[in-house]
Amino acid sequence: MCLAIPGKIIELDQKKQSATVDYGSGTMRKANVSLVEVKIGDYVLVHAGFAIQVLDEKEAKETLALFKEMLYLQEEK
């Protein structure tokens, strides 16, 4: 199964075609942004280290909330 995670672009390095993406809760990682046109503050869907789609902010936040809920439910078991 493949999984893509939404995150917010907080730093952008156009030369290297990379960005620092904030996935929430202090989790930040670098992602390649060569496949999409982005700017700081955009939300993107990241799969295997590549931003593959720019997302609407509302949609991204809803998806992140669902992931948090799934983790919470898993921890209750």
What would be the CATH architecture of the domain defined by 5-76? Roll (2.30)
40-61 burial: b if 16+ Cβ within 10 Å, else e: eebbbbbeeeebeebbeeeebe
Instruction: Note the pLDDT tens digit of each residue in 36-67.
Output: 999 999 999 999 999 999 999 999 999 989 98
DSSP 8-class letter at 51: E
Instruction: Note the pLDDT tens digit of each residue in 6-47.
Output: 999 999 998 999 999 999 888 999 999 999 999 999 999 999
CA proximity to 54, closest of 40, 67, 38, 32: 38
Q: Give the count of beta carbons closer than 10 Å to the beta carbon of residue 5.
A: 18
pLDDT given at position 1? 67
- Please give the model's pTM, rounded to 2 decimal places: 0.86
Q: Categorize the per-residue pLDDT at 68 as very low, low, confident or very high, splitting at 50, 70 and 90.
A: confident
User: Using CA atoms, how far apart are residues 4 and 67, in angstroms rounded to an integer?
Assistant: 11
